[in-house]
Amino acid sequence: MHQAESPATVASRHENAVTISARDVTKEFGGVKALKGVSVDFYAGEVHALVGENGAGKSTFLGTLAGRVSPTTGSLTAFGHMITGANPRASRAAGIVAIYQELTMIPARTACENVFLGQFPTRLGIVDHSKMRARFEVLCQKFGVHMDADARTDTLSIADQQLLEIMRAYESAAKAVLFDEPTASLGESERARLLDIIRQMKANGTTIAFVSHHLDEVLAVSDRITVFRDGSVVASRPTSAWTKQQIVTEMLGSELKSTLQQRPLRPTQMPRDLLKVSDIAVAGLLYPASFVIRAGEVLGIAGLVGSGRTSLLRALAGLEPATGRLEIDEVEKPAPRTPRAARALGIALIPEDRKGQGLVLSRSSACNVILGDMPSIARFRILREPVIMKAASAAVVNYGFNLNRLSAPARTLSGGNQQKLMLGRWHHARPRVLLADEPTRGIDIGAKTEILAALRKAALEEGLAVVIVSSELEELLVVSDRILIMRDGHMVDTLDCHSDDVDVERILHSAFAVHAASLHTEHA
């Protein structure tokens, strides 16, 4: 990277050398073929995007390059080295660094120490802190950010931590960087910044592999797009030869009948106010906000990471020491301080981190569904197996969940099916207000549509008030009746999605105080 071969060759792709080459790579997991003979070439100074639905094999393929997954057959070469077996150190030695959605920061160390982890600049064997700090400042300048070198890493936002992760890769002079869903947890402006950094790395001659569900982003940043479907490569072309619709078509294998093309219908009845929120606030994170949530309505919340949108949701769910009052059915209560208090008010949360905070992965799907309300199906506190199965089936059947999987541990399900379990849990427990934090994160396109439609249906047909926080503005726009906008801990605006002049640009302009144009520069 610093010692990148020759940035001049960037101009023409065909003069670039093949740096990483995969030939006929297959991978079987207990008889299931996750990869069926994949051959892909990566070039120096090129951003190569890998797209496909969940389970298409792109992450497994990335794993073979990173040395996390050992291929069953086939060969991998990187910078002249053979990569064999699951050996992350060998891949690292060949010059490959992988950056995953899950961060590998040590929370209690400083930003600076995390960047230089394992490669501390030393003087006579002693860590040279002033040199380290100087190099950190250089990195910050290069990336165009300001960050406190001595801040404990766990006090930084996820976006900043991810940036540190990338700085670490940069500092280690990686010749190839593999990004697996790097933007999933980032807000719009952080995404734009990350894409700029990727462009910069590319200009230095770094080989970049990029896995993302976010097709606009893929089109904006990549030079070549390879589509995976069912463990095979189905198409690989320069980005200029792709349109978004073509990519989706290849991913799904057939034309996507998008149910998300239209705006939501205005509810037929005048919705009544269900929950009145007055001056809800969290010290340091959320300034007093007041708004109303109506029965049968989907309320979207948009904002940057760190804008207070998640704090607002957490405050409603009883996860923050919030102040303020809630009024449900004309009874006023203080803001909940525990999830249990929130549940007593009829408020339930689908957390962003399904695996970490939503599901008990070791337990069966059925057990996960009934977890939201067990006493109601118990007799004398005793739960009978058939009763559990019946209640769980009833809760998930409408979400297209395969009922034969109800006995399977939640761990074995795909992201989309896991999210359906969360929906099922609250369908079973019947709250009044359903909060969903990034409900479509990390879920493939087909299931995304289903999840959004299910949330919409919960509002319209069951009269729930649904509140959704999402970074995917287009999704938010098609699923919400109103969108509440947060910036720097303040509630700054409320937009009515049924009016004609509300679109992504309008939200961006209003919410992020930036022009949308800056985001999609290369793509348009």
Point out which residues bind other proteins (CB under 8 A).
317, 319, 338-340, 343-344, 349, 351, 356-364, 366-367, 370-375, 378, 381-385, 388, 402, 404-405, 407-409, 412, 425, 429
Read off the tokens for 87: 């050996």
Q: How many residues does the chain have?
A: 524
What single DSSP character describes residue 409? B
Of 67 and 271, which has the nearer Cβ to other proteins? 67
Of 194 and 317, which has the nearer Cβ to other proteins? 317
Considering the complex, what minimum distance in angstroms separates the CB of residue 376 from other proteins?
10
Angle at which helices 244-252 and 445-462 pack, to 10 degrees? Answer: 90
Considering the complex, what minimum distance in angstroms separates the CB of residue 393 from other proteins?
12
Q: Is 434 exposed, middle or buried (CB count within 10 Å of its CB: 0-12, 13-18, 19+)? A: buried
Of 13, 18, 48, the C-alpha closest to 226 is 48
Considering the complex, what minimum distance in angstroms separates the CB of residue 350 from other proteins?
9
Considering the complex, what minimum distance in angstroms separates the CB of residue 396 from other proteins?
14
Of 282 and 483, which has the nearer Cβ to other proteins? 282
Of 105 and 388, which has the nearer Cβ to other proteins? 388
Considering the complex, what minimum distance in angstroms separates the CB of residue 458 from other proteins?
17
Of 343 and 448, which has the nearer Cβ to other proteins? 343
The b-or-e profile of 357-396 (16+ CB within 10 A means b, else e) is: ebbeeeebbbbbbbbbbeeeeeeeeeeeeeebbebbeebb
Of 450 and 475, which has the nearer Cβ to other proteins? 450
Considering the complex, what minimum distance in angstroms separates the CB of residue 315 from other proteins?
14
Q: Measured between alpha carbons, how far is 203 from 64 in angstroms, rounded to an integer?
A: 26
Considering the complex, what minimum distance in angstroms separates the CB of residue 30 from other proteins?
8
Which residue, chain included where needed, has tokens 């001056």? 279
Q: Are strands 482-487 and 490-496 parallel, antiparallel or unpaired?
A: antiparallel
Considering the complex, what minimum distance in angstroms separates the CB of residue 416 from other proteins?
15
Of 239 and 418, which has the nearer Cβ to other proteins? 418
Say which residues have a Cβ less than 8 Å from residue 194's Cβ, sequence separation at least 6. Answer: 162, 163, 166, 182, 183, 186
Of 71 and 358, which has the nearer Cβ to other proteins? 358
What single DSSP character describes residue 234? E
Rg (CA), the chain: 24
The number of C-alpha atoms within 13 Å of 215 and in the hemisphere containing its C-beta is 18
The answer to whether the CB of 406 falls within 8 A of the CB of 392 is: yes
